[in-house]
Structure 1
Amino acid sequence: MRQRSTYRLSILGILTAIIILQDFIPMLGNIPIGPLSLTTLHVTVIVTAIVLGPVDGAIVGGVWGVLTWIRAFTFPSSPLAPLVFVNPLVSVVPRIFIGLFAGWTFMLLAKWMHSKAAPMVIAAIVGALTNTVLVLGFIYLFYHTPAVAKAYGVNVGNLFKALSAIFVTNGIAEMVLAAVVAPLISLPLLRLQRKR
C-alpha cells in the first residue's frame, strides 16, 4: 500500500512539475496567436485525471489555474489575460473542473468498455471541452465589456460571435490535440501502474 502511495505521489509530483514548466516556458504550454493563446496544458491535466483519478486531476488543474491567475497580474500569456484571468472564476475554476470531469468520465466509461483507449479519448474530449466552454462562457458572462471586446477586435455586440469563433478554432484544435496525445501518454503510465 505504501509503495502504491509513493508511486502516486511521484507521478503527481512529476505531472505538477510538467504543468509548471509548460506554463512558464514560452511556446511550450501557451502558443500566442494574436490576442489568443492556444494551450497545451490541458493535456497534462487530462493525463493526470486518467492515470491518477479525478481528485489528482483537479489538483494539477488547480495548480495550472493558480499559475494562470498569478501570471495575469505579473507576466500575462496574452493581451487578454490581465483583463479576464485576474478573476479566479475564469482562471482557476475551469482548470479544476477539467481534472474532475475527465477523471469521472474515464472512470465511468472504463467500467463499461473493454478497451481503455476509447474511454481515454472520450475523457480527453470532455476535459478539453470543459476548459473551452467554461473559460469562454465565464468570459462572456462576467466580461461582456467594451475593453474585452476590443481585445478580440470586435465591438460588444459581436463578442458572442468572436467567442464562438474561438470555440470553433481554438476549442476544436485543443480537443483534437487532447484526444490524440492524452491516450498516447496515459496508456503506458496505466500499464506501468498495473505492473507495480
Structure 2
Amino acid sequence: MSVLKDQDPRIRAIQSRIRVVPNFPKPGIMFQDITTLLLDPKAFKDTTNLFVERYKGKNISVVAGLFSKKHEEASASASPYFRVASRFSARNGIEARGFIFGPPIALAIGAKFVPLRKPKKLPGEVFKQEYDLEYGSDCLEMHIGAVQAGERALVVDDLIATGGTLRAAMNLLERAGAEVVECACVIEIPDLKGKEKLNGKPLYVLVESR
C-alpha cells in the first residue's frame, strides 16, 4: 500500500468495515465480507470516491465488472490458510460483487459499464474466455460489440485472490481490441500473489485482507 493511501483516513475506515468470516462458504476459507461495508453509506461512498479520484480524467471509456468467485480461487491456492479439499461447483460461486462498485465508478467518470459473466448468463453473441482452476477450468463471457477497438478499459472487482478471473477479464477486453489501463480491487489477498498473473498490468487496491 502506498504512503499516500496509508495516510488517508478513509482507507482505515473502509478496512474496519470489512468483516472476516472464518470457514465460509467452505471450511478453510477466511471470507472477506463486504456486506458490512455496504451497510455504512459513508464508507461505501468513500470506497467509490477513491476509485473515481484515481480514474477521472484518464480517458477511460469502459469499466468492466466481474461476475466471479474469487474465494474459490483462494481455496484452490497453495496457501494452507485458504486450502480446502472439496471442489466447488459453479452454482456455489460468490455473487457478482464486482457489479456493486463498477456501475457507480463508470457513471462518475463518464464511462459505460460492461458486465463480464459466467456462461449462459448473457443473451446474444458473446466472447468466451476460459481460465484454469485447480480442479478444471471456468469461463467468463462478454457481449460481442460491447467494447470497441481502441477503447481504454478499467477492470473492477471487489477482491483479487489468485488473479485468474482478472486475467481472463483482461484477455476478453484485449481480444475485443481494448486497451486495459489498470485493474482495480477493494481487497487483495497478497499471499496468493495474484498480481503476478496480470501480465505486467498495474493493480490498484485499497486494502489487504486480514
Q: Tell whether the structures are fold-level matches, with TM greater than 0.5.
A: no
Higher helix share: 1
Q: State the structure with more CA Rg.
A: 1
User: TM-score if structure 1 supplies the norm length?
Assistant: 0.36
User: TM-score if structure 2 supplies the norm length?
Assistant: 0.35
Higher strand share: 2
